[in-house]
Structure 1
Amino acid sequence: MSSGGTQNSLRKTLGALKDTTTVSLAKINSDYKELDIAVVRATNHVERPAKEKHIRAIFAAISATRPRADVAYCIHALARRLSKTHNWAVALKTLIVIHRALREVDPTFQEELINYGRSRNHVLNLGHFKDDSSPNAWDYSAWVRSYALFLEERLECFRVLKYDVETEPPRTKDLDTPELLEQLLALQQLLFRVLGCQPQGAAVHNFVIQLALSMLATEGIKIYNAISDGTVNLVDKFFEMQRHDALKALDIYQGAGQQAEKLSEFVEVCKNLDIGRGERFIKIEQPPASFLQAMEEYVREAPRASTIRKDLNVDEKSKVILPMEYKKNSEVKEDCPSSPPPAEPQPKPEPEPEPEPVKVEASVSEPPDLLGLDDPVPAASALDEKNAMALAIVPVGEQPASAGPNLSNGTAGWELALVTAPSSNGSTSSASKLVLFTIFLGIFQLLHQ
């Protein structure tokens, strides 16, 4: 016997031993021993389909008449079986049990399975699964991963559609635009997962894989029928859509034609394998190029937003401008915070920059004010009255022409002569400056006595 055959026989022996041990432990330790035994025997290591009686025992445990705790335990048992195995036969047969339960048991099982996946790690997360025991096992493992992705997408599609497209007639022909676009996208993604399950290599001739493939072929046809009904509804609404929705609708319509060709090839492969021969499938032809061109032209000219959205945009722009006006006219805003600023009071903020040049001139003219050279004559006369005791200022009319020096008040006569003498050039500005200068000297002398 060759080494490959020896290893295969050894693997089968070890697998049978594991199944027997698991069943024995379930009989002793499990509170749900009958259910655990049915799960082990329906998903054993034997590389052929499970017996129907074991599968029916599992379905009886997850029916709507059973307590929800029993259903949750059954899901947990199946998830534990998937997470611990590295054998392609055990993983594939477990997925077949779950797939058949989704098709044959009431929808409450799907809801429980979705809730279980939300609270814990997802049951169908087999992205890293592999069985490297043989070259054929590599091909089987690749198909098992694709099959798990389809079942995971099937649950997501059920969550979006709120019904099972396999067991109920499609509802896409009567939907409004938002729901129609959402459901068509979910259905196309599900059909994409179906097409991804086309077997390759050794997986083409495996009998257990062919059993799962027959269920996939029938579901693919029903999924596409739902897409076709929705596409007809989409075309009726297309030329009334806004540009954003029309772009999505055009992508969906083009994708539907591409998936029709791939699904035709997929079904032909299944028929060649004696799978799905009794299924009715009509090959969908591509729409004429003129129609697609008309759709593309409408997308370019479609309205970008509704009138309601335009009004909202205008309000948003006004909200952006208001803070700028608030900074320019803060006083008006404080008085009337709820009313918009009128257009006429906008010139009022113009006098605000005027105090700034005044402050600059005042700061520049402060040093000359110490000497009083730039003050007007009335300011000098006021200062003379305050300092009358310091300087004896005699009016010009009362003084004689040859007035001598007056030493009684400490001032010289030449100082008074400077004050009373007329200017040679007749300039009033120079005379006022001399008067102020004389006053400054008198104050200086008093301070130093």
Structure 2
Amino acid sequence: MTKLKELIGMMKDKASQGKAAILSQRATLSLLRATSHDSFTPPTSKHLSTLLTVGDGSRATASAAMDLLMDRLQSTQSSAVALKCLIAVHYVLKRGSFIMRDQLPYSGGGRNYLNLSKFRDRSSPVCWELSSWVRWYAKHVEQLLWASRILGFFLGVEADQDSTQGCNLRLLGGSWMKAGEERASGLTNGELLRETEALLAVVEGIGGIPDAASMKGNKLVYEISSLVEDDGIVVLSEMLVRVNELSERFGFLSFGEMVELVYMFSRLEKCKEMVGAAEKQRLLLNLVREVKEKAEKMMFSEEGKTISTHRTTKSDMFEFPKLFINSVDLVRFSSARLL
């Protein structure tokens, strides 16, 4: 029964491709070839490159190509097709032209705007298991796009692309780390915390990747895992820059900012170890523990006074803020490097 359904899927692919070829619909043909019903193999580099080339032109052309891709993603009931569409979206993010990346879906920070959180493909045991990958991978792509909008540049863009905004690109006159530090030093404390929280959400999502043990030998799952591992390295690198900058500003953070920082660090410490990024994660966690320890000491001790952790009464609330007001709070600099 399973093989019959796979055969029907392949026949649908051939029929659709044949129709597109007859009608000279280049964009549709390249999309169909890149997003076939085969549940075990990912789209080839050739087909993905062709798809990216189709959208590499005017804004109208890029928009039309992305509309085709999103229509294919939203209308399919096949887990294999859905995963391949998501891979194509991921490739647009990493390797597409600036104009094509600008057409990527975005809903202002909302969740499930790809509308795949309830995706189920019951056509076979393999497709049923791949359905969990569709739901998780869609959430990851959503989170990656949302974080990119918060940062103001697309995460994971490869170094040979035409953008000059992201600190994950090689810039003339300096290394990636130097460029990242310079950008971070110009952000306010609030902006730094917001960007760090957005990156943390991506890290937490990656930690929830489905277990691939039962999908051993499935090249489609392997391709997705590989793409996400690359994202993990990039995101941890971006977080390392921001945590390092926050540690430089430590004496100029308000009490509320320190509370937010400690909360985010506690979440980060609970994240699972990322495959392919273990060393990067270890470096980040070491820095996090160091900064978190300092923040906790400052939160519970100000000018030699120990603050009780018991529930604050209404009368205490009037005296509580006074413990944290000092001359440093009156003037805050954007970065301790400027002092």
Task: Classify the TM-score, shorter chain.
Answer: 0.7 to 0.9
Deviation at 1:211, TM superposition (A): 0.8
Are residues 1:136 and 2:126 paired? yes
The answer as to whether partners of 2:155 and 2:234 remain within 8 angstroms in 1 is yes
Counterpart CA distance in 1 for 2:29 and 2:43 is 13
Give how far 1:161 is off: 0.4
Query: Which of 57, 77, 88 is equivalent to 1:86?
Result: 77
For residues 68 and 290 of structure 1, what CA distance do their matches in structure 2 show? 47
> Sequence identity of aligned pairs in percent?
23
TM-score of the two chains, using structure 1 as the length reference: 0.57
Equivalence for 2:52: 59
Q: Say whether residues 1:239 and 2:233 are aligned partners.
A: no
Q: In 2, Cα distance between the equivalents of 1:19 and 1:123?
A: 27
Other-structure match for 1:49: 42
Describe the shift of the 1:306–1:161 C-alpha distance in structure 2 as closer, same or farther (beyond 3 A): farther
Tell me, yes or no, if the aligned pair for 1:238 and 1:249 is still in contact at 8 Å.
no
- The match for 2:229 among 181, 195, 217 is 217
Contact 2:203–2:232 (CA<8 Å) still a contact in 1? yes
Equivalent position of 1:110 in the other structure: 101
Residue 21 (structure 1) aligns with? 15
Give 1:229 deviation, angstroms: 1.6
Contact 2:28 2:68 (8 Å CA) reproduced? yes
What is the alpha-carbon distance in structure 2 between the residues aligned to residue 252 and residue 195 of structure 1?
15
Structure-2 residue corresponding to 1:9: 3
Q: Which runs of 5+ in 2 are unaligned?
A: 158-165, 169-179, 303-319, 327-339
Which AA in structure 2 matches 1:62?
Answer: G
Give yes or no for contact 2:78–2:121 (8 Å, CA) kept in 1. yes
Name which of structure 1's ranges 151-160 and 12-21 shifts more when overlaid on structure 2: 12-21
Instruction: For residues 172-200 of structure 1, give each alpha carbon's deviation from its aligned partner in whole angstroms, at most 9, with x where no partner exists.
Output: 64233111011001111111122222434
Decide whether the 8 Å contact of 1:194 with 1:220 is kept in 2.
yes
Q: Is 1:169 paired with 2:167?
A: yes
| Post-superposition CA distance 1:200-252 (Å, at most 9, x none) | 45235421110111111121012111111211111222332211111111222
Query: Cα RMSD between the aligned structures?
Result: 3.2
* 1:264-287 CA-partner distances (Å, limit 9, x unpaired): xx31xxxxxxxx59x974633546
1:138 CA displacement: 2.2
- Summarize the Cα distance change of 1:26–1:254 in structure 2 as closer, same or farther, 3 Å threshold: same
| SS of residue matched to 1:112 | coil
1:297 corresponds to which letter in structure 2? K
| Structure 1: distance between partners of 2:289 and 2:72 | 51
Determine the C-alpha separation between the residues in 2 that align with 1:282 and 1:123. Answer: 29
Query: Which residue is 2:171 aligned to?
Result: none
CA 1:162–1:290: 2 relative to 1, 3 Å: closer
CA–CA separation in structure 2 for the residues paired with 1:190 and 1:211: 19
The answer to whether the 8 A contact 1:243-1:300 is kept is no
Match of 1:75 among 49, 59, 66: 66
Rounded to whole Å, the distance in 1 between the matches of 2:33 and 2:125 is 26
Structure 1 distance, partners of 2:219, 2:257, is 45
Q: Which stretches in structure 1 are left out of the alignment for 5+ residues? A: 1-6, 268-275, 308-449
Question: CA–CA distance in 1 between the matches of 2:294 and 2:13?
Answer: 62
Provide the aligned length of Structure 1 versus Structure 2: 284
Structure 2 residue 270 is matched with structure 1 residue 258 = yes
1:22-70 CA distances to partner (integer Å, 9 max, x unpaired)? Answer: 22443456xx70110110111011231223322111111222xx12111
Residue 40 (str. 1) matches residue 32 (str. 2): yes
Letter matched to residue 206 of structure 1: N
CA contact (8 A) 1:231 1:253 kept: no
Tell me by how many angstroms 1:11 deviates: 0.9
Higher relative contact order (CA 8 A, sep 6+): 2
